[in-house]
Amino acid sequence: MINGHRLIYFDNAATSQKPIQVIEAMKNFYERHNANVHRAIHTIAQEATELYEEAHKEVATFIGAKGMEEVIFVRNTTEAINLVAYSLGLNDFNKEDEVVITLMEHHSDIVPWEMLSKVKGFHVKYVGVNEDGTLDYEALRNSITKRTKIVCLAHVSNVTGIINDVKEVAKMAHENGSYILIDGAQSVPHMPIDVKELDADFLAFSAHKMLGPTGIGVLYGKKEILEEMKPFLGGGEMIKEVKFDEERKRCMIEWNELPWKFEAGTPNICGSVGLMEAIRYLKKLGMENVEAHEKELTIYTLDMLNKLEDLQLIGTKDPKMRSGIISFNIGNLNVHDVALFLDGYGIAVRSGFHCAQPLHQKFKLNGSVRVSFYIYNTREEIDRLVVLLREIECAYG
């Protein structure tokens, strides 16, 4: 209960709630299998290692990767993007090179490239959006040149919920000889994903947005690309051999095989168990069913919100182009005041820039209120939201 009301949780784009199966799987790991991986031959160390590698295989199957070699465990989507930025950008990008990203990106797909560009001198190019929030594909195509090393974009905007045609963008990039990095934080938890069908070079996503724990995420990368990339972090686990060369008076290092080459130090083993259990939960539901449920809620919500006179929706009203993320403003009301009012009745929403300030700047907004759905949300909860939004309109309109 929140403030005496049953919780209605509409902040799933920030993080999802966890089913008991995930919590129990992680509890069971700590009670029965807690040991480090890839280091010892005793029984529970072998059990922990088997679980950890099994989690890699489960993720690979879930997203259609060729094998566990293409699945790297990181802390979150942000670290996955940073891994690509620093492993590729720091070693392979030059002053004449370009990185193409869009104005709808989460800050985690903007800040790393801007930071690294200050070091390497390459140019970061931004592609705008149309007035309805959809990606300007013509501008994107024109922005990709022979100097473009990588194109980075969100599969689904975490502000508007607009679904980008990443398969078409991958085609644009590959025709030019460029890589594509897809931010799948808002797509992998909500729809069927096949990295081979999308022809993604890289795909980043987080466990905590898909019923799993915080502190673990995934970077998918094509095996042939990962094999050529240098590690992002150095230390234990990511090396096969370290030998001291007496003649040179220095250590000679040989990298480990994939994916361990990119997983330095002791990983979040228990987190991988939680992620694996979350994926199994979603697979039992069927990702097609997850997507259909959210689409139904989105269509219903857009229809209900359209009846509110003072509500301004951000992005297209076409439900076919959206996922279960809806951001809006009510008149000139402060977005945090709206969120606090709703919280008083047990409804959890997000307010602010949602880590996507440039997109709000594009629409001349000082923030927005965001509702985002997942498998446990219902029409009745949406009805309750709309009743309270109508009260706000009546009181302050």
* Residues that are catalytic: 355
Residues paired with residue 331 on neighbouring β-strands, in sequence order? none
Tokens 């686990």 belong to: 237
Distance, CA of 107 to CA of 129 (rounded, Å): 16
Strand partners for 179: 150
Q: Which distant-in-sequence residues (6+ apart) come within 8 Å of 364 by Cβ?
A: none
- Token pair of 172, please? 């644009």
Number of Cβ within 10 Å of residue 87's Cβ equals 21
Cα gap 362→19, rounded to integer Å: 38
DSSP letters for 175-231: HTT-EEEEE-TTTTTTS---HHHHT-SEEEEEGGGTTS-TT-EEEEE-HHHHHHSPP
Residue 323 in tokens = 């996922």
38 touches 187 (CB < 8 A): no
Report the alpha-carbon distance of residue 292 to residue 270 in Å, rounded.
31
In a 13 Å sphere around the CA of 3, the CA atoms on its Cβ side amount to: 10
